[in-house]
Amino acid sequence: MVGQQVDNPISVEEKARAVKDLTRDDDVAVQVTASLLSRPETTKNMPAAEQVRVVKELTHDDEVATSVTSELLQRPRVARQAMRDDDVRFTVNRAQFDNSEQAREQLRERMPAVRKIEHTMEYLDLVGSAHQYVATLGRLVPRLRDQEFSDDERETVRRSIARVRGAADWLEAALETGTFTLDGQLAQLLKGE
């Protein structure tokens, strides 16, 4: 057996353990991780759950997460699929609203006349909504004269009337007190819960 080489292959587990030992140093681990994750043929063989876990770990920093999310949402298929999730859609809509509100607030600070214009528009919307509601009832109620409603239909209309009454009471109280916030109980009433 002199001169013959014994082929003693190293197992995958042994190789993985060696890499783990070699990457205990954070500087080495950073370089190795970046190199490994940039190999598409390697990452595509990882189970999906493991890929998700790695992405979550790599996006703990808000700046990184923002950059990755922005890039991912520019992919139409990804954006479409993400927006099918009610929680995601609500969060995105909330962020859009918050950004718009922040921009409006900055505009109001720079140009105080904007707030007066908004006040006038909101006042006209409020008065117009009340007028439209009354006019719609004035047009619809007389046309209901010979119609019969089921018990379910009557109950649905009664619930709607209670919602309208609750909203009107809230508006009246807000005008009297100057408190224009929406409390939880009223929010549920307006949603029909």
Question: How confident is the model over 154-173, as pLDDT tens digits?
Answer: 999 999 999 899 889 888 88
Q: What is the pLDDT, as a whole number, of residue 94? A: 92
Distance CA 117, CA 7 (A): 85
**CA-CA distance, 104 to 99, in Å (whole number)?**
9
Banded pLDDT at 4 (limits 50, 70, 90): low
pLDDT at 86: 92
Structural tokens at position 30: 């950073």
Which tokens sit at 46?
Answer: 């990882």
Residue 95 has pLDDT above 80, yes or no: yes
Consecutive H or E run containing 164: helix 151-177
Global pTM reads 0.47
Number of neighbouring beta carbons within 10 Å of residue 183: 10
Q: DSSP code of 46? A: S
The pLDDT confidence band at residue 48, using thresholds 50, 70 and 90, is confident
- Tell me the per-residue pLDDT of 66-82, one tens digit each, with 9 for 90 and over: 998 899 989 999 999 99
Max CA distance (Å), the chain? 111
Confidence of residue 2 (pLDDT cuts 50, 70, 90): low
Give the whole-angstrom CA distance, residue 28 versus residue 174.
63
What pLDDT, on a 0 to 100 scale, did the predictor assign at position 77?
Answer: 94
pLDDT tens per residue, range 111-157 = 989 889 999 999 999 999 999 999 999 999 999 998 999 999 999 99
CB proximity list for 174: less than 8 A, separation 6 or greater: 180
